[in-house]
Amino acid sequence: MKSVLHIYKDYFPPVIGGIEKHIHQVAEGTRDEYDVRVLVANTRSKTEVEDVNGITVIKAASLGRIASSPICPTFPKLLKKYAADILHFHCPNPIGDISYLINRPSGKVVVTYHSDVVRQRSAMIIYGALLRRFLRLASVIMPTSPQYIDSSSYLSDCRDKCEPVPLGIETDRFQKTPAIEAQAEDIRKSVGGQPIILFVGRLRYYKGLHFLIQALPMVKESHLFIVGAGPEETPLRRQAKMFRVEDRVTFVGAVEDGKLPLYYYASDIFCLPSHLRSEAYGLVQLEAMTCGLPVVSCNLKTGVPFVNKDGETGIIVEPGSPSALSNALNQLLSDVDLRKKLGSQAQKRALAEFDVSVMIRRIKAVYERVISS
């Protein structure tokens, strides 16, 4: 049996994040054909190896973190020790890329390129040069959308190696049941049957929720549910009061995965107002689409408008514009037939193109081709 080693800084569980969940999906989805291992940083100052549901997880001793990047002196040594036929790196992850450049372990390099480093620009003065060097050594680079190849200078330099593999979700987790429908109806009743606009995600600086709240006074009668927690919650609550829409906004807080479908099926429109390239893909769009919701999101040079097709599955607007958001939301609120049409097309696209099984099949095809080359 051929082997695969995934390289990143954290693993799911226990860390809950988009990249961590993706690695978990790929590890689980390929372990029937490959000996799968995962190399990550530990939260402790010693190296530990454990079995997580049949997957070997190596946690390198860590001395702490700087700007979310772990300091792991033994990472290069462990990368060489546990090298596999396929070394599957998940970028951005400076500790992994630099460790490979130091030790050059055996194995073919495959990279899933999730996003550029957007916020820590000063770090890119050094890491950027190393990242370019590392990417040139890869056999295949898998951006999560075609758009990212054009918008990332690091990928455009390696265009010949790029093969987009869109991220997927477990669409069967979002199947409607009588119990879900009954609880969704209770949510609708809680706001007097008003149309519901839904946001799901971490309340972070790049999510653009301040633009959505600013747009709300211009939006027809409706209620906004914000599902998620994060550092921006307090400023957003203040802003809702300032714009006198606090009675039209419900801050739900963090919701466990099993209860998310209740909010999707209770809602009429999903809105992802993220306005910066830190939003590299927007998986929550897929969750909403799977539940038959039309999506309003922004024209970022990332995977966001790749997932949500303007005029087909929803409406794409210019980022950072409250008036553009309000116009799109009003268009959908005013036209029930359009809302249903886009929602139906969104659901078909999500089920056909973005189920996790489609993603796993594409990744396996890359593995097989790289190993045989």
Q: Are 120 and 208 contained in the same domain?
A: no
- pLDDT for 121 equals 64
Q: Are 349 and 359 contained in the same domain?
A: no
- pLDDT for 123 equals 62
Q: Are 203 and 97 contained in the same domain?
A: no
Closest CA to 311 of 333, 287, 341: 341
Closest CA to 191 of 100, 238, 252: 252
What would the 3-class secondary structure string for the chain be? CCEEEEECCCCCCCCCCHHHHHHHHHHHHHCCCCEEEEEEECCCCCCEEEEECCEEEEEECCCCEECCEECCCCHHHHHHHCCCCEEEEEECCHHHHHHHHHHCCCCEEEEEECCCCCCCHHHHHHHHHHHHHHHHCCCEEEECCHHHHHHCHHHHCCHHHECCCCCCECHHHHCCCHHHHHHHHHHHHHCCCCCEEEEECCCCHHHCHHHHHHHHHHCCCCEEEEEECCCCHHHHHHHHHHCCCHHHEEEEECCCHHHHHHHHHHCCEEEECCCCCCCCCCHHHHHHHHCCCCEEEECCCCCHHHHCCECCCEEEECCCCHHHHHHHHHHHHHCHHHHHHHHHHHHHHHHHHCEHHHHHHHHHHHHHHHHHC
Residues written for the chain: 373
Full domain range(s) for residue 26: 3-168+355-372
Query: In whole angstroms, what is the distance from residue 264 CA to residue 331 CA?
Result: 20
Q: Are 111 and 231 contained in the same domain?
A: no
- pLDDT for 306 equals 98
Q: Are 181 and 252 contained in the same domain?
A: yes
Q: Are 17 and 40 contained in the same domain?
A: yes
- The count of domains in the chain is 2
- pLDDT for 329 equals 99
Q: Are 320 and 360 contained in the same domain?
A: no
User: pLDDT 10s per residue in the chain (373 long)?
Assistant: 999 999 999 877 777 778 999 999 999 999 999 999 999 999 899 999 999 888 999 999 998 887 778 889 999 999 999 999 999 999 999 999 999 999 999 999 999 999 998 766 666 677 889 999 999 999 999 999 999 999 999 998 899 999 999 999 999 999 999 999 999 999 999 999 999 999 999 999 999 999 999 999 999 999 999 999 999 999 999 999 999 999 999 999 999 999 999 999 999 999 999 999 999 999 999 999 999 999 999 999 999 999 999 999 999 999 999 999 999 999 999 999 999 999 999 999 999 999 999 999 999 999 999 999 8
Q: Are 201 and 331 contained in the same domain?
A: yes
The β-bridge partners of 124 are none
For the domain that residue 306 is a member of, what is the CATH number?
A: 3.40.50.2000
- pLDDT for 366 equals 98
What single letter denotes the amino acid at residue 242? M
Q: Are 311 and 191 contained in the same domain?
A: yes
Q: Are 269 and 183 contained in the same domain?
A: yes
Q: Are 191 and 218 contained in the same domain?
A: yes
Q: Are 270 and 339 contained in the same domain?
A: yes
